[in-house]
Amino acid sequence: MGAAQTAQAASETPPVPGPMKLLVVAVGARMPGWIDEAFDEYTKRMPRSLKTELIEIRPESRTGGKSAEQLLAGEAARIGRAVPRGAFVVALDEHGREFTSAGLARWLDERRRDGRDLAFLIGGADGLAPEAKRGAGTTLRLSAMTLPHGLARVVLAEQLYRAASILENHPYHRG
pLDDT tens digits, residue range 70-108?
999 999 999 999 999 999 999 999 999 999 999 999 999
Neighbours of 29 (CB within 10 A): 10
With a CB cutoff of 8 Å and minimum separation 6, the contacts of 162 are 101, 104, 105, 172, 173
Delimit the domains of the chain by residue range: 17-167
How would you classify residue 145: left for phi > 0, otherwise alpha for psi between -120 and 50, otherwise beta?
Answer: beta
CA distance 54 to 3: 46
CA distance 38 to 161: 12
For residue range 124-135, what is the model confidence (pLDDT) as tens digits? 988 999 999 999
Classify residue 33 by burial, with Cβ atoms within 10 Å: 0-12, 13-18, 19+: exposed
**Has residue 3 got a pLDDT over 60?**
no
The superfamily (CATH) of domain 17-167 is: SPOUT methyltransferase, trefoil knot domain (3.40.1280.10)
Task: Between 146 and 122, name the one with better pLDDT.
Answer: 122
CB of 77 closer than 8 Å to CB of 117: no
User: What pTM was computed for the model?
Assistant: 0.87
CA distance 5 to 28: 54
Query: If you ran DSSP here, which 8-state letter would residue 31 be given?
Result: -
CA distance 131 to 162: 30
